[in-house]
Amino acid sequence: MNFSENDVPGERQRQHFKRIVSVAEDSLRIDQYLSAVLPQFSRGFWKKVLTTGSVHVDGRRVSQCSRSVRTGQRVEVFLDGLPLEKHLIDARQVLFEDENLLVLNKPAGLDTQPTPSRFQGTLYQGILDYLGRGKGAGRRPEIGMVQRLDRDTSGVIAFSIHPRAHRSLSEQFRHHKIRKTYLALVSGKLENEQGEFKSNLAKIRAINRVRSVARGGKPALTRYRLVLAAGGVSLVEVELVTGRMHQIRAHFSEAGHPLCGDIRYDGVGRLHGLDIPGQLLHSWKLSLAHPVTGQALDLKAPLPRDWLPLLEACGFPAAMLRNLVASD
């Protein structure tokens, strides 16, 4: 049985290889095995892929090159087309930190949590390394992931990093006590300067999208306010009242105003002569009570500088951009 290869149209090139180990391949090191069955990639490449966490044997992630394969084992490789590097967190990304809570400004193009394609090169891995950096042999970090941002969504994201903070933070998110405000660049000019989208959303696996359904699904409420329209697009402030998967992307697409760069939800991939690498959605503000002290926290992440050329090309005023976009 040969490896099969699947690409996902309209997204970064993703590949999925799978194969059953034959008798002749029994006892080969996993890096040697991969080099033999997929010789178009170098052995050095496979070592990086293994370190990243993209290789699975019988459903379990394998990272050691010295691991041997056995006859009949199922080997799968998931490649997402992203760099095979660790994500390093520095002080400029940290919006708030104490022994209980860590709030970061997540860059776009980074998975929040491990995926079949990787453990290294995720925000989760970066947090583990950051919390362990220079801390000696102290308490092992315990990360509570109660918030998710899509790979191409940037901005404020909060994590509890001590067991005593997990429950409170989770309950705040579960009971919608945290105010989440986003900025989105969407196609066209909105008919109303403010409004809301309310529906039940469900994931439709056949089309790999979330959409509103008449029956079933989960209640979703999205409120919005137009900041400014220019150059055939609208900059919109969005309050995410509920937190369903792809909620903002689905609601604006169904309203006829898909997010710029959101190919999956019918958004344009190029605007004013400029390529858009992913959906232009930014987690701008997060207001919550500290999960241990109860202190009110209002945290904000400026827009990434990557947005600036496109916003300028659309004709947004320079003064407004200075207030929104990160400075060097």
Tell me whether residue 11 is exposed, middle or buried, using C-beta atoms within 10 angstroms of its C-beta: 0 to 12, 13 to 18, 19 or more: middle
Q: Give, as one character, the DSSP assignment of residue 305.
A: G
Helix (H) and strand (E) counts in the chain: 7, 16
pLDDT one-digit tens code per residue, 14-62: 899 999 999 999 999 999 999 999 998 888 999 999 999 999 999 999 9
Q: Residues 93-139: pLDDT tens digits?
A: 999 999 999 999 999 999 999 999 999 999 999 999 998 865 554 55
- With residue 283 as reference, give the H or E element that holds it: strand 281-289
Structure tokens at 41: 């990639």
Q: pLDDT at position 7, please?
A: 38
The reported pLDDT for the residue numbered 133 is 64
Closest C-alpha to 3, from 35, 32, 26: 35
Backbone φ and ψ for 49, nearest 5 degrees, come out as -60, -40
Q: Kindly report, residue by residue over 176-201, the tens digit of the pLDDT.
A: 899 999 999 999 999 899 999 999 99
Would you name the residues annotated as active-site residues? 150
Residue 328 makes CB contacts below 8 A (sequence gap 6+) with 305
